[in-house]
Chains A and B, each alone.
Chain A
Amino acid sequence: NAGVTQTPKFQVLKTGQSMTLQCAQDMNHEYMSWYRQDPGMGLRLIHYSVGAGITDQGEVPNGYNVSRSTTEDFPLRLLSAAPSQTSVYFCASSYSGPAKLFFGSGTQLSVL
């Protein structure tokens, strides 16, 4: 099992560029979520999904869009990147609800 796979591992963007962070899981988990982690801080929830076709906002959703067309994939889109979005992004999934979350290895994003 690959678990939770995030791509890319590193990305540098210019202000205003758009991109999609990919997240895929092969455990047939219904619940998926995106977190960001800034230096010296804990993780903050961006968006989450309790199943295909269902998404909802977390603590810090502004500037990010998500969709969940399949159980396996939960991409995170930055429509117009800003320096404040420089962070490490983690995707996580679980069988049902945010218990026993499995995390990916993260994407380090820098916005110049």
Chain B
Amino acid sequence: DAKTTQPNSMESNEEEPVHLPCNHSTISGTDYIHWYRQLPSQGPEYVIHGLTSNVNNRMASLAIAEDRKSSTLILHRATLRDAAVYYCIPRISNFGNEKLTFGTGTRLTIIP
């Protein structure tokens, strides 16, 4: 299984961009990189995923390093509602082994 390393916690000011890093140096060539977030007292919610190139959606952007050993989730303009635990997860995609393993993630605090 690919291992990930994320900061335990980060802080950011409201209305400023946030860059959440993730190292996944053992990722295989076919593993997608998924990001989920978990707001307090809620189940996780999908944010974004990608394979090799940068990805954008209405929630965030995902920048993937050229060597795929790291990625960065970018929240362009943080709001108080973005305070959550953010999980970076390589997807193990072998047939018959469809698992998504969550680590402990990064707890993001937004300062008003």
Q: Does B98 contact A (CB under 8 A)?
A: yes
Q: Which residue of B lies closest to A104 (CB)?
A: B43
The reply to whether B43 and A106 form a contact with Cβ atoms under 8 Å apart is yes
B96: min CB distance to chain A, Å: 8
Name B's interface SS. Answer: loop
Is the interface on chain B under 10, 10 to 19, 20 to 34, or 35 or more residues?
20 to 34
- The number of residues on chain A lying at the interface, defined by a beta carbon within 8 Å of a beta carbon of chain B, is 27
A19: min CB distance to chain B, Å: 20
The docked-state distance in angstroms from the alpha carbon of A37 to that of B101 is 12
The docked-state distance in angstroms from the alpha carbon of A4 to that of B46 is 14
Stretch at the interface among A10-18, A62-70, A71-79, A93-101: A93-101
> A residues within 8 A CB of B100?
33, 45, 98, 101
Interface residues of B in 34-52 (CB under 8 A from A): 34, 36, 42-46, 49
Contact with A along B15-51 (1 / 0, CB 8 A): 0000000000000000010101000001111100100
Given the known A-B contacts A31-B98, A45-B99, A58-B99, are A100 and B46 also in contact in the complex, defined by CB atoms under 8 Å?
A: yes
Q: Does B9 contact A (CB under 8 A)?
A: no
Q: Does B13 contact A (CB under 8 A)?
A: no
Total A-B pairs, Cβ < 8 A? 55
Given the known A-B contacts A99-B34, A101-B36, are A48 and B43 also in contact in the complex, defined by CB atoms under 8 Å?
A: no
The docked-state distance in angstroms from the alpha carbon of A59 to that of B32 is 20
Given the known A-B contacts A99-B32, A99-B91, are A44 and B102 also in contact in the complex, defined by CB atoms under 8 Å?
A: yes
> B residues within 8 A CB of A42?
87, 102-105
Q: Does B54 contact A (CB under 8 A)?
A: no
The docked-state distance in angstroms from the alpha carbon of A43 to that of B43 is 10
